[in-house]
Amino acid sequence: MSNTSSRSSLVSTPTSRREFLKLTGQAVAATTIANLGMSHVHAAGSDLIQVALIGCGGRGTGAAVNALATKHLGPIKLVAMADVFKDRLDGSVRDLRQRHADQMDVPPERQFVGWDAYKKAMDCLKPGDIMISATPPAFRWVHFTYAIEKGLHSFMEKPVTVDGPTSRRMFELAEKATQKNLKVGIGLMSRHARHLQELADRVHNGEIGEVILQRGYRMHGPIGYFASLPKPADISHLRYQVRRFHSFIWASGGNYSDFYVHIIDHLGWIKNAWPVKAQALGGRHYRQDPNGVTYVDQNLDTYAVEYTYPDGTKFDFDGRCMTGCMDLYSSYVHGSKGSAIASRNGDCGGPSAIFKGQMPRRPDMVWESKVPPAEQDPYQNEWNDLVAAIRGDKPYNECKRGVEASLVTSMGRMAAHTGQEVTYEDILNSDHEMAPGLDKITDDSPAPLIADANGRYPVPMPGITRKREY
């Protein structure tokens, strides 16, 4: 990616995780993990680590690819897979067999479909193996609870939670995992981007002075399941909401939590603090398809959130999913002695850079990150780091800060959806569990959202619905 003098020109089109993997390959960060002491300690007393994948969409498949690419650390195999939707499981099996046929040991009898498929997949593992939870985040606590009961290490995708009650539950589960010496990785890969690690160290060491402002942007056209039309007749409301999880706050936190958590997380890390309150605005625009059919998802098209840190420093985040508008997808840090580009493009795109003024101009650049090719893939780095900790029996639990990042993200989302100032304590102590009972869900369970006679689901109404988001 080239360096230019203007902020807007630093941003190109968004890069998906799948595209990133194609561009960077499956490079491994062997040099960064050598000092972990590769004693090959494995809780089950065997060098072979077995993996179960729960949630076989694009993100789950990508996580499995990264897991299997750690084979230089010791033998690792995928032995079970689970999903609610058979077509997604079948597609993931085909994809993974093309990439890692020699490490795929998932015969039909270990390919599970259904609401309880996660248990059947984890039952194929032994203590000390790894479960991957890459379903919609509403189910994260359900899977993590069972993994801890089974003595399994975990890799869980972001966000970790979408509301206060499940966040409190996950904090407790994080403590239980630590007590049982279980390792936990969270898919906030910015923390494993080597250029952001160095930038965070430099900011913490005062190289740009006191942080006085942060800015984050993710603005592009609709992607994923951001928008949804009325439910087709051949699928239940429950399955429709899970299938198109980005559209529904209970399932994913909506596009705000699912799309924006990475930048919110890494700017909080660079500041070395979490925001304590947020006030925000947002809106829905042009909410019909070309045929005049109204979309039924719960998302706003635009978000503008002002976060406040304990010391009063502001962090402004802008999000937009609209066709035809300017794309901007990057993050910045301003200090009393200079400024920095954190992510140049995307969730954590390098190189990061520091400037002696407040404008990101190359003549004023005083440092730019340089990362060896073997360490340039943060998605692979996070798996290398997790597996090295398992084999070396090193303390490793990212769950607590993953929940904190998810809560701060939900705090901004709730501020926009209610039109109120929302504090960290407000969202943490909220009694609104959006989808209770997911550990007992079946096809006969009612959907967490009920549609009206026109097939429309409740949407945020800022200023009217002020205590809850819908």
The per-residue pLDDT for range 101-154, each reduced to its tens digit, is 999 999 999 999 999 999 999 999 999 999 999 999 999 999 999 999 999 999
Averaged pLDDT, 152-178: 98
To which residue do tokens 């997949």 refer? Answer: 121
Mean pLDDT of the chain: 91
107 and 154 assigned to the same domain? yes
CB 297 within 8 A of CB 258: no
Range of the domain at 244: 192-373+406-440
CATH of the domain at 38: 3.40.50.720
- Angle among Cα 99, 102, 104 to the nearest 5 degrees reads 75
Taking phi first (over 0 means left), then psi (-120 to 50 degrees means alpha), and beta for anything else, what does residue 394 get? beta
Q: Are 233 and 335 in contact (CB under 8 A)?
A: no
| Separation CA 198–CA 214 (nearest Å) | 18
Report yes or no on 465 lying in a domain. Answer: no
Same domain, 172 and 211: no
Judge whether 463 lies within some domain: no
In the numeric block, which tokens belong to residue 319?
């999000």
Looking at the fold, whether 299 and 347 belong to one and the same domain comes out as: yes
165: cis peptide before it, omega within 30°? Answer: no
Q: Say yes or no: 254 and 392 in one domain.
A: no
Q: Are residues 59 and 106 in the same domain?
A: yes
Tell me which residue of 249, 200, 215, 42 sits closest to 130, measured CA to CA. 42
Residues 446 and 439: their CA atoms lie apart, in Å, by 14
Are the C-beta atoms of 173 and 398 separated by less than 8 Å? no
The whole-model pTM stands at 0.90
Has residue 29 got a pLDDT over 80? no
Tally of domains within the chain: 2
pLDDT digits (tens, 9 = 90+) for 52-80: 999 999 999 999 999 999 999 999 999 99
pLDDT in the model for residue 46 = 65
User: Any idea what the CATH number is for the domain that residue 208 is in?
Assistant: 3.30.360.10
Same domain, 185 and 202: no
278 burial level (CB within 10 Å; 0-12, 13-18, 19+): buried
Q: How many CB atoms lie within 10 A of CB 351?
A: 17
Residues 293, 192 contacting (CB under 8 angstroms) = no
Strands of 256-301 (E only): list them: 277-283
Same domain as 119, residue 237: no
- Quickly count: other Cβ atoms within 10 Å of residue 312's Cβ: 8
% of the chain beyond a pLDDT of 90? 89
Q: Which residues contact 172 (CB under 8 A, 6 or more apart)?
A: none
pLDDT tens per residue, range 403-457: 999 999 999 999 999 999 999 999 999 999 999 999 999 999 999 999 999 999 9
391 and 313 in one domain? Answer: no
Same domain, 180 and 241: no
Q: Which residues pair with 339 in a beta bridge?
A: 334, 355
pLDDT of residue 286: 87
Same domain (yes/no): 416, 275: yes
Q: Are residues 417 and 428 in the same domain?
A: yes
pLDDT-based confidence at residue 18 (cuts at 50, 70, 90): very low
